[in-house]
Structure 1
Amino acid sequence: MAKQTGPYGFRGKIGDVVGRQINGQLVVGKPGGFTKETWKNNANNPDYAPRKEASEFASSSSMAKEVYRICDLDLSTSHRDPKAYKRLVAHFQKFRILDRSNPKGKKRPSIGAFHHLTGFAFNTQSSLFDLIMPPHLFTGTELSYEFPGFQFLSQLPTQANTIEFIGYAVEIDFKNLTCINRISTYLTKSFTELSEHFNFTINSHSKNTLYIVAIRFYDNVSDYLYPLSDRFFSPMRIVAFKE
């Protein structure tokens, strides 16, 4: 860097040199050096590391919010416990830290985080959430989920006589960290229709699909179905992820 001499000084870039005014003195030097942008992204800036962490955390919380909102609105209160969202954020944070495919400052939840979401219970207060863990089978783009009917009978709420199985299949857009193209599948059965084993088939997408199963109970009175909103009998769980 050198002082500018002569009657006409300049500020700005001309060719391969840059003119600046520092402490009232016009100087000339090469492009680069100290600027607002370089300081903003300088590792020595005390605000730099927290800002990077905040950006990475935002990717985890954003993805958690997308998964948290997959279910129907009328299931929001009954099928999710108050800490479900925080548990999802903690899960994505753990796997965001393990991300090796993106540089520091741009780490984000990856496919591995979704594989390890299998078994996640949105409502740990439900005494029945362990029922949504039987074996399941993929057939093309469908997930066939098998329920042991007789096993249900000993644990069903006495005030209900009808059961509804709800399946959600959403495609995960990893580029934008969103859940897209939700497909919902519903199956309603009276308790008398529960056989020893029966299948619940969820239609789905061809790739990067997350599957959720929820169970809702009804009291059938004069051909009208009244849903039980008791969180104790309202299980919902992530059952699979398929790339």
Structure 2
Amino acid sequence: MTQSCATYREEDVLAWILRDSDAGAAQALAEHMALCPACRERAAEYRILQGSAGGFRNDPVIRWRRFDSPFGAMRVAASVAGLVALSWQDTCDEAFVAGLERRYPSTPVVCDTDELDPAEEQLTEYFGRRRPLFDLRVDLAGLGDFQRAVLDAASGLDFGETVTYTEIARRIGRPKASRAVGNALGRNPVPIIVPCHRVVRTDRTLGGYTGGLRYKRTLLGIEGRTDLLS
């Protein structure tokens, strides 16, 4: 059974294993582990788990990783079919993983820093105004037919383009369902990639956005839509 250590948290050791620590923190933790059996044991367990991830490449598995973004720590996850989650709202890795395990109770959830490199790279380019179009698959399996239809319609919106909730409702053949469209967009599991931030109210005000309108303003600002930032 893994012992506990009052000096370093589990996420510190995991970040060191995944090479997400900065140079100073990595050196300090390496020196600490030379003297701490508990942290060495934990690091050994994480290495085993990381190595096991390679065996899941062609099997049903949910892979995830964390990276820095202008919104703070951003976490992304994918099935073998495509991205299933993107979040900057979770307070820690454990909360994000727990959410994935609830969605996929019979599928292993593993940390993988290689397979999701393209997601981090493309999102970083987008935030830097260097990528107007994502080249990433999205897996919407498991969502209801209505929500998939709404998200598919939102996926067709171009960089900087905006439409209303009513227009999305019309495009999916449900012209009176604009409120339901808003609710479906609010449960978008892969925001930014599926650009629900490009859907606004009929009066051209922003409407809502999960986590807060400041994120929607930032995303629209990246796309040059300063006319909609009020």
**TM-score of the two chains, using structure 2 as the length reference:** 0.29
Q: Which has the higher strand share?
A: 1
Structure with the higher fraction of residues in helix conformation: 2
Q: Which has the higher contact order (CA 8 A, sep 6+)?
A: 1
Flag the structure with larger Rg.
Answer: 1
